[in-house]
Structure 1
Amino acid sequence: MAAEISAALPATGDASADALTPALRGLLATLRLRPRRALGRQGLGHHASRNRGSGQEFAQYRAYESGDEPRQIDWKLYARSDRFFVREAERESPVRAWLLLDTTASMAQADEARPQFSRFDAARQLAVCVFEIAQRQGDACGLVLCGGSGLSLVTPGSGPRQRDRLRHALATATAIGEWPKAEVLAPAWGRIGRGDLVIALGDCFDEAAVAQLVRLAHAGREVVALQVLTADERDFPFADGRRFVEPEAGESLLGDGPALRADYLARFAAAQRTLSARFAAAGIRHATHVIDQSPGQALQQLFGDRAR
Structure 2
Amino acid sequence: MARIGEATAPTATREALARGRIRASLVPDLLVEARRIVNTVIAGWHGRRKRGIGENFWQFRPYVEGDAIARIDWRRSARDDHTYVRDREWEAAHTVWLWADPSASMLYKSSGAAISKESRALVLILALAELLSRSGERIAWPGLTDPFTARSGAERLAAQLAQASVLPSRPDLSGIRRFSDIIIASDFLDPVEDTKAWLDVLARHGVRAHLIEVADPAEETFPYAGRTEFTDPESGDKLTAGRAETLGEEYRLLYAARRQELAGWCKRLGWSYTVNHTDRLASDALVRVHMAMTADSGYAARTGA
Question: Is the counterpart of residue 153 in structure 1 residue 153 in structure 2?
Answer: no
Once the two structures are TM-superposed, the CA of residue 16 in structure 1 deviates from its matched residue by 5.5
> Is 2:288 the partner of 1:301?
yes
Deviation at 1:32, TM superposition (A): 5.2
What does 1:210-225 align with in structure 2 at a 5 Å threshold? 210-225=196-211
Which of 141, 144, 148 is the equivalent residue of 1:143? Answer: 141
Q: 1:249 to 1:175 in 2, by over 3 A?
A: farther
Q: Deviations over 1:125-144 (max 9, x none)?
A: 00111111112211111112
Shift in CA distance, 8/290, structure 1 to aligned 2, threshold 3 Å? farther
Any residues of structure 2 matched to 1:270-281 within 5 Å, and which? 270-281=257-268
Measured after TM superposition, the shift of residue 34 of structure 1 is 4.2
TM-score, normalising length: structure 1: 0.69
Match of 1:285 in 2: 272
| C-alpha distance 230-45 of structure 1, shift in aligned 2 (>3 A) | farther
1:167 corresponds to = 158
Q: Distance in 2 between matches of 1:131 and 1:220?
A: 22
Closer, same or farther: CA 172–109 of 1 in aligned 2, 3 Å: farther
Partner residue of 1:249?
235
Distance change (3 Å), C-alpha of 1:27 and 1:259: same
Looking at CA atoms only, which structure, 1 or 2, has the larger radius of gyration? 1
2:141 partner amino acid? L
Identity among equivalent positions (%) equals 23
Aligned residue among 236, 241, 254 for 1:267: 254
What are the equivalent positions in structure 2 for 1:195-234 lying under 5 Å apart?
195-207=179-191, 208-234=194-220
Give the CA deviation at 1:281.
2.3
How far apart, CA to CA, are the structure 2 residues paired with 1:200 and 1:306?
13
On the 8 A contact 1:139/1:158 being kept in 2, the answer is yes
Q: Is the CA contact 2:140–2:148 (under 8 Å) kept in the aligned structure 1? A: yes
* In structure 2, C-alpha distance between the alignment counterparts of 1:196 and 1:294, rounded to whole Å: 27
Could you tell me how far apart the structure 1 residues matched to 2:274 and 2:121 are? 13
TM-superposition CA deviations, 1:11-43 (whole Å, max 9, x none)? 9575763314756523134235847x7122xxx
Asked if residue 109 in structure 1 is aligned to residue 108 in structure 2, the reply is: yes
Query: Partners of 1:306 and 1:95 in 2: how far apart?
Result: 13
The yes-or-no answer on 1:9 pairing with 2:26 is no
Measure the CA separation in 1 of the matches of 2:260 and 2:210: 17
**What CA distance in whole angstroms lies between the structure 2 residues aligned with 1:113 and 1:306?**
31
Residues 122 and 228 of structure 1 are in contact (CA less than 8 Å); yes or no, is this contact kept in structure 2?
A: yes
**AA at the equivalent of 1:30:** G
Deviations, residues 104-130 of structure 1 (Å, cap 9, x unaligned)? 111111113447x21110000001111
Give the structure 2 partner of residue 25 of structure 1.
Answer: 39
Q: Which has the higher strand share?
A: 1
Q: Which segments of 5 or more consecutive residues in structure 2 lack a partner in the other structure?
A: 11-18, 59-89, 296-305
Root mean square deviation, CA, Å: 3.2
Select the structure with the greater relative contact order (CA < 8 A; seq sep ≥ 6): 2
Distance (Å, rounded) in 2 between the aligned partners of 1:46 and 1:240: 61
Aligned partner of 1:131 in structure 2 is: 129
C-alpha distance in structure 2 between counterparts of 1:306 and 1:155, whole Å = 21
Distance 2:131 2:265 in 1: 27
Identify unmatched segments of 5+ residues in structure 1.
Answer: 49-90, 145-151
User: 2:270, 2:4 → 1: CA distance?
Assistant: 30
Q: Deviations over 1:38-88 (max 9, x none)?
A: 122xxx58996xxxxxxxxxxxxxxxxxxxxxxxxxxxxxxxxxxxxxxxx
Contact 2:130 2:152 (8 Å CA) reproduced: no
